[in-house]
Amino acid sequence: CGVFGAYRLPQASLITYYGLHTLQHRGQEASGIAVMDQGKISIQKGKGLTIDLFTKESLKKLKGETAVGHVRYSTAGGQENANIQPIVARGLKEQVAVVHNGQIVNEKELRVELEKEGCIFQGTSDSEIILHNIQKEKGSLYERVKKTAAKLVGAFSLIVMGEDELIAVRDQKGLRPLSFSKMEDGYVIASETCALDILGLYEHTEILPGEIVRFYKGIVSRERYALPSFQYMCAMEYIYFARPDSDIESINVHAFRKETGRLLAKNDWIEADLVVGVPDSSLSAAIGYAECAGIELEQGLVKNRFVTRTFIQPTQALRDRGVRMKLSPIKDVIEGKRVVMIDDSIVRGTTSRRIVRLLKEAGAKEVHVRIASPIITSPCFYGVDTSTKEELIGARMSEEQIKDYIEADSLKFMSVEELKEAAGHVGLCTACFDGAYCTPLFSYQEKLEN
């Protein structure tokens, strides 16, 4: 998911719309904007892309100088409308809205506790639990958010909106990114820095793991609500999820991917004519590979820009249909050539298998697949949809078997060590590659054991 906040800005809803559109790659299922005006919240949310959902007129109706927005990609909760964010509490004394990116792993425990105390839930998402818990604690909104954050285990980048107030929080491990910038007399907050850049804001402040930042009465204050921990930034943010023009923990995502390509090539002595990256997320790694290997980089595949990321379409049948719609080989480039095909990751193996076939149909003599991440062997419980173990080809098959399955002439993944090398000073979560989860998993532990 992607979250966005605008504080003390005229046209807050329009700015949030631009922000969400820029974060659209983080979720295409649903989107929503809530604005605060003199203690009252107006909201518009629904299924679909931000550009399809909002119009000039509908944004004008969202009056107020403080706003939060969200683009959704469902992991824990299902796709029902009640799970679409922002989630709003309309108290008589106070109205509050919450947007959340990530996944809470002790949600079941918190939910049971809240239900015992009489809370009634409308949806199935963990984000609603956060809002209920905020309402249940005692003290100012800020105090309540702080107490809630300290109870949550897992991944969360949150923005909470109260009257003339935004509160931004990152989980203690720093699994999901969150940054803010000063804009005119106010502030904007975003999941990724690319959504700040498009507003002409190139100076970003990253919220720290375990930190809570309050934008209140025009002033920013920062505080820790949790003890400092080793950092576990989601490796998949760098590998696949984030936009290449974003910086995460001061490392540019494109530069990171290029480095993974370079590391892949470094110990790879392969005779080939061309390097081809799978658009769009693998192009940076392909550049790094080609540069280091001294093999020509070519555009061997064309992507239809109007097909949204196939992975996010929820059923296998849809996924199978989507891939062919999305990518086509350039026959003149491929024919008779020995091709190194670079992709960012293999989850189910569907994409790689399809593309190897496409390239062979286009006349490739050999296709050598190089993956700019390690083998995914374990599910993610922190907000990326690689959730069940059965779905992961790397959990069922060896590298050799995967090579045969995708019908490649050779296959190589990165090692976890190489991935960590690419991250330099940034501590990474690599749980989906090595099973080393950085938090207790509570009820999710069962999913690992069967």
Q: Please report the DSSP string for 328-384 in residue order.
A: EE-HHHHTT-EEEEEES--SSSHHHHHHHHHHHHTT-SEEEEEESS----S---SSS
Determine if the peptide bond prior to 280 is cis (ω within 30°): yes
Answer whether 332's CB lies under 8 Å from 384's CB: no
234 is in an annotated binding site: yes
If one asks whether residue 357 binds ligand 5GP (CB under 6 A), the answer comes out as no
Q: At closest approach, how far in Å is the CB of 443 from ligand 5GP?
A: 22
Q: Is 225 within 8 Å of 376 (Cβ atoms)?
A: no
| Residue (111 or 257) nearer to ligand 5GP, CB | 257
Residue 209 near residue 172 (C-beta atoms within 8 A):
yes
Tell me which residues in 203-242 interact with ligand 5GP (CB under 6 A): 236, 240
Q: Which is nearer to Mg ion, 34 or 275 (CB)?
A: 275
Nearest to 130 by CA among 165, 90, 94, 157: 157
CA distance 165 to 157: 17
Q: Among 347, 364, 367, 431, which residue sits at the site for ligand SF4 (rule: CB under 6 A)?
A: 431
Q: How far is the CB of 393 from Mg ion (least distance, A)?
A: 15
Select from Mg ion, ligand SF4, ligand 5GP, none the partner in contact with residue 349, using the beta carbon and a kind-dependent cut-off of 5 to 8 Å: ligand 5GP
Token digits for 251?
A: 């490392």
Q: Hey, what are 125's tokens? A: 């998402």
Least spacing, CB of residue 103 vs ligand SF4, in Å: 9
Ligand-binding annotation for 119, yes or no, is: no
Tell whether residue 192 is a contact of ligand 5GP (CB under 6 A).
Answer: no
Structure tokens at 305: 């820009």
Of the residues 384, 414, 419, 422, which one makes contact with ligand SF4 according to CB under 6 A: 384
Give Cβ neighbours of residue 49 (< 8 Å, ≥ 6 apart). 24, 28, 31, 308
Q: Which residue's CB is nearer to ligand 5GP, number 207 or number 346?
A: 346
Among 349, 363, 395, 397, binds ligand 5GP (CB under 6 A): 349
**Over the range 180-206, which residues count as b (16 or more CB within 10 Å of their CB) and which as e?**
bbebeebbbbbbbbbbbbebebeebeb
337: tokens are: 């050539």
Does residue 256 interact with ligand 5GP by CB under 6 A?
Answer: no
Which of 34, 346 has the CB closer to ligand 5GP? 346
Residue 334 sits in the site that holds ligand SF4 (CB under 6 A) = no
Q: Tell me whether residue 1 is one of the annotated catalytic residues.
A: yes
- Our finding on whether 264 is near ligand SF4 (CB under 6 A) is no
Kindly state the helix (H) or strand (E) to which residue 84 belongs, with its residue range.
Answer: none
Neighbours of 64 (CB within 10 A): 20
382 binds ligand SF4 (CB under 6 A): yes
Give the annotated binding-site residues for [4Fe-4S] cluster: 234, 380, 429, 432
Q: Which residues are catalytic?
A: 1
Give the annotated binding-site residues for Mg(2+): 281, 343-344
Using CB under 6 A as the criterion, which residues of the chain lie in contact with ligand 5GP when the complex forms?
Answer: 236, 240, 278, 281, 309, 311, 343-352, 384-386
Using CB under 6 A as the criterion, which residues of the chain lie in contact with ligand SF4 when the complex forms?
Answer: 175, 234-236, 380, 382, 384, 429-432
